[in-house]
């Protein structure tokens, strides 16, 4: 109850300073199942708000996520399936189907994908529904899928159709939020998550922690995309682990078992503001030493920064992150024919 009173005091202070008041009629409360009924009633009377049910939704998703994430996102899957099944493919050309898939069906889950890691079963089902629609398959018939959906999701220049793979796009959208946590350290988003999950380290070095939220779990999954698509730009070298971070194009090759705690700053002579050649020669092979010595040390007074490498601007974009995620997903998938052969053969079917 004391915490509730403090919250009210904060709200009243905000209202007095900003002139903005909370609409109590549009405010809902949610309680844990462990909260006693008398405590619920007291808090409800104090705040003047109604109690929200477990089934209440916000932007199409349940506000309370249960243990089964598949059930949580089931409605999202059904929404897309229902819309696709409503299209009469017999009266729509292949070009029309392409536009519908790209502009309508694949735009529906964008909000959800920017916050949560959608379960693989849901992503696979959505991909399957879209693939069946593309090949003109209805509920009562089966048609040959002349090429798999993963190939259809590649660029047209590579023999695909440029469709969006749901799970890869999900990772790209989450990577956008992860990139914000790395670079926007003045945002409220950063400050809240920093205090809760990675108080004494960087986001890229953070662990899952105890009792993590679903959003935090989802953001950590996106770090694979960040690692693959970025590299460290050396400042003072203190944040870059020689072994744990990507800071050399080909990666360091050691002469002996490396120290896992070694930082790039340990390889710099901070008096001369140059690389410590003696330490480099004693630690790395000749080719690695040459790579390191070629790196400029022009920003020793600034912090190390993570830079995006997958486009010319070196600025993060969902488009380039999607290509990285798609590459990660299809790493074990080998093409048996050239892209040109696919593009000139199956497209005529």
pLDDT digits (tens, 9 = 90+) for 17-64: 999 988 888 888 888 778 888 888 888 888 888 887 666 666 666 666
Identify the pLDDT of residue 65: 63
> In the predicted model, what is the mean pLDDT of residues 79-85?
82
334 vs 202: CA distance, rounded Å: 36
pLDDT at residue 108 greater than cutoff 80:
no
Length of the chain: 349
Q: Which own/partner contact pairs does 333-338 have at CB distance under 8 Å and 24+ positions apart? A: 333/150, 338/159
DSSP β-bridge partners for residue 29:
51
Q: For residue 219, which of 185, 252, 182, 249 has the smallest C-alpha distance?
A: 182
Identify the pLDDT of residue 157: 86
Alpha helices by DSSP H, 27-116: 37-47, 69-72, 74-85, 94-103, 110-113
**Residue 224 banded pLDDT, cuts 50, 70, 90:** very high
pLDDT at residue 228 greater than cutoff 50:
yes
315 vs 6: CA distance, rounded Å: 42
């Amino acid at each position: 109850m004391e915490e509730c009173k403090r919250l009210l005091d904060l709200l009243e202070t905000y209202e007095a300073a900003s002139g903005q008041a909370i609409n109590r009629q549009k405010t809902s409360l949610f309680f844990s199942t462990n909260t006693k009924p008398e405590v619920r009633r007291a808090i409800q009377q104090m705040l003047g708000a109604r109690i929200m049910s477990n089934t209440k939704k916000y932007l199409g998703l349940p506000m309370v996520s249960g243990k089964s994430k598949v059930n949580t996102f089931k409605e999202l899957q059904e929404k897309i399936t229902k819309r696709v099944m409503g299209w009469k493919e017999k009266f729509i050309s292949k070009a029309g189907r392409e536009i519908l898939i790209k502009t309508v069906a694949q735009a529906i889950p964008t909000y959800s994908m920017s916050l949560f890691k959608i379960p693989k079963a849901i992503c696979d089902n959505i991909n399957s529904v879209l693939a069946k629609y593309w090949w003109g398959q209805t509920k009562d018939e089966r048609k040959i899928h002349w090429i798999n959906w993963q190939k259809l999701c590649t660029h047209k220049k590579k023999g695909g159709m440029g469709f969006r793979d749901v799970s890869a796009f999900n990772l790209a959208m989450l990577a956008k939020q992860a990139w914000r946590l790395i670079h926007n350290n003045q945002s409220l988003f950063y400050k809240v998550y920093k205090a809760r999950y990675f108080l004494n380290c960087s986001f890229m070095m953070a662990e899952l922690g105890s009792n993590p939220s679903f959003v935090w779990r989802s953001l950590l999954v996106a770090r694979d995309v960040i690692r693959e698509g970025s590299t460290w730009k050396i400042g003072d070298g203190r944040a870059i682990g020689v072994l744990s971070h990507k800071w050399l194009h080909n990666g360091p090759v050691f002469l002996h078992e490396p120290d896992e705690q070694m930082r790039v700053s340990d390889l710099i002579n901070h008096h001369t503001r140059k690389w410590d050649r003696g330490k480099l020669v004693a630690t790395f092979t000749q080719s690695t030493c040459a790579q390191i010595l070629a790196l400029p040390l022009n920003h020793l007074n600034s912090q190390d920064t993570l830079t995006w490498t997958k486009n010319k601007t070196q600025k993060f974009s969902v488009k380039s992150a999607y290509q990285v995620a798609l590459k990660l997903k299809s790493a074990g998938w080998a093409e048996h024919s050239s892209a040109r052969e696919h593009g000139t053969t199956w497209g005529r079917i």
